[in-house]
Amino acid sequence: MNYYLLDAEDLAADDYFKEWVSSPTPDADAFWKTFLHDYPERYYQIEEARQLVTALREIQDQPEQTARVEGIWKRIEQTLEPAQPARLIQGINWLRGWQVAALLLMTLSAGWLGLNRLKGSPAPKDGLVQANNDWIETLNEASQSMQIQLADGSLVKLLQGGRLRYRKELVGPQREVYLTGEAFFQVRKNPTRPFIVYANGLVTKVLGTSFRINAPVNASTVTVDVKTGRVSVYANQPSRVQDPESKGMVLTPNQKAVFHRDAATLDKILVDSPSLLISRKESQQFVFEDTPVAQIFSAIERAYGVDVIFDEEVMQHCSLTLSLDDEDLFQKLDVICKVLNAQYKLIDAQIVIYSEGCRKSM
């Protein structure tokens, strides 16, 4: 069984998982501890599944709750069209098992699960916080983002619906946090202690920089885009043979990684709106008079931190006179290519220029 691919509901339906929650054995404990060690980003799914199993067991131990569930189920059945196909009815009968019971439990309990998880822990007005030994788990339920300051001075801007798990004290050789949802990180630089974010199968490793991660719980992709510094990203697939980081990629400002969870593959692209990496005063120098395109492309590379690939021999006689100080990156490229009768494509976060060249002036 590949437990990594299962969500919380599927885990809660698995016999081996249910036995571990209800009657743990040393072997089962060792298995699930090893699983979480290898795939720490699955912590939330494991915890949610554990709570579902526990809640269902409590329903079975409370006859009055079971009777209420059956009553609600009968009302649900009465709302079904009498002409429903047999196959649909069979499917609904199957759902009458643990999944429906879990959903009804949530309705009947009016938030009992959430309150039980947070028992004994104060909840700030803009989110929920759960303490577990040396770990803190924060869920942002507010409509606006919330800021979390970690023990090392790093700042995390957690967006609505985001969940962050981190230590009270970021001890050890690595500073590790776990994320689901979206957050912007400003990491305090420490060359001796890497900062690592686990998010839905993707690992993001930095020494000190700022970047954004978007890792919705059930989404098929995870994205990381860099604002400052350098970021290493790679699939969380531990191996005794090869360092998983060696199969990843390094991102620099204005670059984004898209991690496809099912295939565990990474794509590198430019962010949607590349920002200037130079001062506003320097950007006003995008005024060119009979300037070789090689110099213009070099200026673009420096301004946006992006590689511009072109055939220098084919375009050696191309020069331009134009002003590009107010345009964004893609507008600049559109203007240049229109004047040169050229085209550009974005490939692996690089700009590739296609041109037939220019005639040599006499």
Per-residue pLDDT of the chain (362 residues; tens, 9 = 90+): 678 777 777 888 888 888 888 888 888 888 888 887 777 767 777 888 888 888 777 666 555 555 655 665 565 555 555 544 444 444 444 444 444 454 444 444 433 344 343 333 333 445 555 555 578 999 999 999 999 999 999 999 999 999 999 988 877 888 999 999 999 999 999 989 999 999 999 999 998 899 999 999 889 999 999 999 999 999 987 665 667 777 899 999 999 999 998 888 999 999 999 999 988 777 767 889 999 999 999 999 999 999 999 999 999 999 999 998 888 999 999 999 999 999 999 999 999 999 998 877 54
- The secondary structure of 32-81 as a DSSP string is HHHHHHH-GGGHHHHHHHHHHHHHHHHHHT-HHHHHHHHHHHHHHHHTS-
- Cβ contact 355:318 at 8 Å: yes
As beta bridge partners, residue 240 has none
**CATH 2.60.120.1440 spans which residues of the chain?**
128-270
Residue 125 CB contacts under 8 Å (≥ 6 apart), including other chains:
142
**CATH 3.55.50.30 spans which residues of the chain?**
280-354
Q: How far apart are CA 222 and CA 219, in angstroms?
A: 7
Fill in the DSSP letter of residue 247: G
Domain at 280-354: CATH architecture: 3-Layer(bab) Sandwich (3.55)
Q: In CATH, which of 1.20.1250.20, 2.60.120.1440, 3.30.420.40, 2.40.340.10 is domain 128-270?
A: 2.60.120.1440
As beta bridge partners, residue 212 has 184, 225
Cut 0.85: pTM above it: no
Q: How far apart are CA 42 and CA 206, in angstroms?
A: 21
- Cβ contact 301:309 at 8 Å: no
Three-class DSSP category at 305: coil
Three-class DSSP category at 265: strand
